[in-house]
Homo-oligomer: A and B are copies of this chain.
Amino acid sequence: MSPSDDEIQTVSQRLERFTGQQLSAMAPLGSEAALFLRAGADALAGGKRLRARFCLTGWRAVAEASGRPAPFTDDVVAAAAALEVFHAAALVHDDLVDNSDTRRGRPAAHRAFEATHTAHTWAGDAAGFGRSAAILLGDLLVAWSDDLFEEGLLASAHAAAARAEYARMRRDVTVGQFLDVAEEAAFITAPDGEHAERALRVASFKSARYSVQQPLLIGAVLAGADAEQYAALSGFGHPLGIAFQLRDDVLGVFGDSAVTGKPVGDDLREGKRTLLVAYTRERLGAGARQLFDELVGDPTLDAGQVAALQGTIVDAGALERVEQLITENAEAADRALRGARLGHGAVGALRDLAQAATARAS
């Protein structure tokens, strides 16, 4: 059984307790500060809580094997909550980077601040204010994630090891995000034969480590994982994270907009240089490849052009190759768990999470 809604509820309550304390502490600063902190609390609402789930389950996998089942201790609940705060920070900045207007069905932070500016009839440029405020909101959320994580570590026997995992996660994802943004620009000068390897590197840093492997390991380390348990969870988390990102790539091109909540072919308009794109280009002649490069990243693509690009990707065998890679990575993840000295209940939960992450439709 994957982490139940009750367990995730514990994380949400921890988040609410933390943001409540922050809002109280800053209340004497007046209404603009309150508005800023409230935006921080709002940014934490919703989402799949994927990272929190992996963190809790990583902890359980080790704790159960040592005969210490749930309830969760505060260090892992705070860590799971901190991962969600950090992710909210990343999304606030990501929406600026991608110029996205919506997030989780609501206005992106910079657009919400813009609307606040307009509603208050403040002076100056509302859109500029929105972007500036969102940069600072992301910074506030990063600070909050650290503070929450450290609150949990105050009574933890494994603080130094958990802190090191968390620090690695933060560096890796930031570099990964840069490589992702850079690839949309730099692909044009990179040797064609290296595109697939480069796309997989972005998937590893931006997603596999950040969304799956490191959250699992942070939880495991907090439960006192030994080297063997650590290696098993690490060996499960990375390929699963790759499969997760590749599924995301497929949905970004072929996903049903009614289910994903995003326009069909959104990744194509954004110009994301995913493995699907890299594999497709390998099979195109020089002329077709140039045409393909010109269309991918054109924000004005219409439905017909999206369909043509989808057809090209399918015809090049790229979709099939990526689906195959998803399967292989999911299998590799599963193999890593076999025979590992991890709690049976938690291993079942990990398999459920793996299934949900790689077979999902949204």
Q: Identify A140's interface contact among B144, B171, B181, CB under 8 A.
A: B171
Q: How far is the CA of A258 from the CA of B117 in the complex (A)?
A: 37
Q: How far is the CA of A293 from the CA of B122 in the complex (A)?
A: 13
- Residue tally, chain A, CB below 8 Å to B: 61
Residues in B neighbouring A177, C-beta threshold 8 A: 136, 139
Q: Which of the 9-residue segments A61-69, A146-154, A275-283 touches chain B?
A: A146-154
Q: Identify A160's interface contact among B22, B99, B154, CB under 8 A.
A: B154
Render A48-70 as a binary contact track against B, CB cut-off 8 A, 1 for contact.
00000000000000000000000
Q: How far is the CA of A35 from the CA of B182 in the complex (A)?
A: 10
Render A138-165 as a binary contact track against B, CB cut-off 8 A, 1 for contact.
1110111011001000100000100100
Q: Identify A136's interface contact among B146, B174, B186, B198, CB under 8 A.
A: B174
Q: Is A239 an interface residue (CB 8 A)?
A: no
Q: Is A351 an interface residue (CB 8 A)?
A: no
Q: How far is the CA of A260 from the CA of B198 in the complex (A)?
A: 44
Which of A's residues lie within 8 Å of B, judged by CB?
Answer: 22, 26, 29-30, 32-33, 35-37, 93, 96-97, 99, 117, 120-124, 128-129, 132-133, 135-140, 142-144, 146-147, 150, 154, 160, 163, 167, 170-171, 174-175, 177-179, 181-189, 198, 201, 205, 271, 293, 297
Q: How far is the CA of A133 from the CA of B70 in the complex (A)?
A: 42
What is the distance, in angstroms, from A99's C-beta to the closest C-beta of chain B?
A: 8
Residues in B neighbouring A171, C-beta threshold 8 A: 22, 140, 143-144, 147
Q: Identify A189's interface contact among B121, B136, B138, CB under 8 A.
A: B121
8 A-B contacts (beta carbon < 8 Å): A22-B171, A117-B185, A121-B189, A129-B181, A135-B138, A136-B181, A144-B171, A147-B171
